[in-house]
Structure formats: structure tokens, C-alpha cells
Amino acid sequence: MADRKIKIRTRMQDGQVEVQALIYHPMETGQRTDPKTKDKIPAHFIRSITLEHNGKTVVEVNTGIGVSQDPLLGFRLKN
């Protein structure tokens, strides 16, 4: 995979901006074991996401281990 971490697409619809963000991330829960070594795979998941516009926070999301690998998130923002 390339060095991209987040792919963002935006579009205007009905006076709002629709933002879609594809976040490239493995999302390990910390509950799986490596089949070869039998060691636990360390937890590595997205804990929070912040979306800012012109220096102002417009979206804050707290997440946990239930979020899928490479999640696609969507937001609608009013002008």
C-alpha cells in the first residue's frame, strides 16, 4: 500500500458539504493471537477522530475496538 493514511472526498449537496473519509488502518483489538508465535497481537485501533475547518473543531468522534479495518466515515456539514 502507498503512504496514504486517509482518502477524503467532498461534495456539495442541498447546501451542505458531504465529507467521506476512508482511513487506512489495521484495527487490531488486542484480543487475537498470532497463529505462528501464539503471542497476543498488541492492540492498535483508532481511539478518536477530530475534524477541523478553518481552525475550528466541527466533529469529534470517540471510537473503540468495534470499528472495522479501514473504516469509511461520513459527515454532513452546514455552511
Candidates 23, 64, 59, 17; CA nearest to 45 is 64
Instruction: Tell me the domain boundaries of the chain.
Output: 6-78
Q: What is the dihedral of CA 30, 34, 35, 36, to 10 degrees?
A: -170
Q: Give CATH for domain 6-78.
A: 2.60.40.10
pLDDT digits (tens, 9 = 90+) for 61-74: 999 999 999 999 99
Compute the average pLDDT of residues 12-26: 94
Report the C-alpha gap between 1 and 18 in whole angstroms: 26
pLDDT digits (tens, 9 = 90+) for 24-63: 999 999 999 999 999 999 999 999 999 998 999 999 999 9
